[in-house]
Amino acid sequence: MSFTAVFQKVSQGYIGFVEELPGANTQGSTLKEARENLKEAIRLILEANRLLSEQEIAGKDVLREKIEISL
């Protein structure tokens, strides 16, 4: 997976977010720290979304498959 990370320099360091993933945002004292924090935020959001989805479809007859797109 690849996403577009956007970082902005602010007085406290850097803030960052992912264009394609609402809620994936973070901050860090350095650009390196902000990048690492953003990777963790992405992992946590994707994990939480998967758990919510699994709860929603629990006990239902569903078809689950991989899907890929090119932009």
- Give the separation between CA 51 and CA 62, rounded to whole angstroms: 15
Tell me the pLDDT tens digit for each residue of 10-36: 999 999 999 999 999 999 999 999 999
Residue type at position 4: T
Is residue 7 predicted with pLDDT exceeding 80?
yes
Q: What is the mean pLDDT of residues 45-55?
A: 96
Rounded to two decimals, the pTM is: 0.84
